[in-house]
A and B are shown apart, each in its own frame.
Chain A
């Protein structure tokens, strides 16, 4: 089955600096890669996603890059703010016919220091 590795497990940055979280996946058939932000005790919220036919996607301060050949994808957060502090999960997904099986990474706890 799919295996998703995520690094680092914890990340502390100064407010205003950039944060980068990296993930690798094992199944070349995976074609959809969402990123979720989860605050303590709350639901994971989709913040950005990318499909396998795209190499990069950006949404304001958040960007995601995908290298299909190397099977890795990264989340980039620029101009970090204290409210960005949370646990971030990457995920890899594949499937068809209405069924997408998602495998999550182990999570990165991001702390933005004011």
Chain B
């Protein structure tokens, strides 16, 4: 089945550090990748949608300069949290779809803790 790999799974770093999270589709080409943020006991909140080779579409309220998304190829998208602060601590999950009307396949998520 479709597999999405997300790395790293856990990051602890100091305030002010920039953190890059990778999302890879391992056995299919992802036409679209999504980045979500999930707070404890809450739902997945879509942050942005990225299509290969084009700029990401950010949801309202998400700072594009804070959360940089690069969709370099049909199998790789990265999210960089720039100058991270404690309020950016959260669980970040990516997902990918292989085509029109296809279900999303999720990565394992990245737990980000900013000290």
> A residues within 8 Å of B by Cβ?
31-32, 34, 36, 41-46, 49, 51, 89, 95-107, 109
Contact = CB atoms under 8 A, between A and B. Distances in A.
A46 B103 contact: yes
B72 to A, nearest CB: 18
Nearest to A49: B103
B99 to A, nearest CB: 6
Contacts of A102: 34, 46, 104
A100 B97 contact: yes
B31 A98 contact: yes
B49 A99 contact: yes
A44 B44 contact: yes
A25 to B, nearest CB: 14
A44 B93 contact: yes
Interface string B75-105: 0000000000000000101000101111111
Interface residues of B, number: 25
B51 interface: yes
A96 B108 contact: no
Contacts, number: 61
Contacts of B104: 34, 46, 100, 102
Contacts of A44: 44, 93, 106
A107 B43 contact: yes
A42 B108 CA distance: 6
Contacts of A103: 46
B103 A89 contact: no
23 contacts: A31-B101, A36-B106, A41-B109, A42-B109, A43-B93, A43-B109, A44-B93, A45-B106, A49-B103, A51-B101, A95-B100, A98-B31, A98-B100, A99-B51, A100-B32, A100-B97, A100-B100, A100-B101, A100-B104, A101-B46, A105-B43, A106-B42, A109-B41
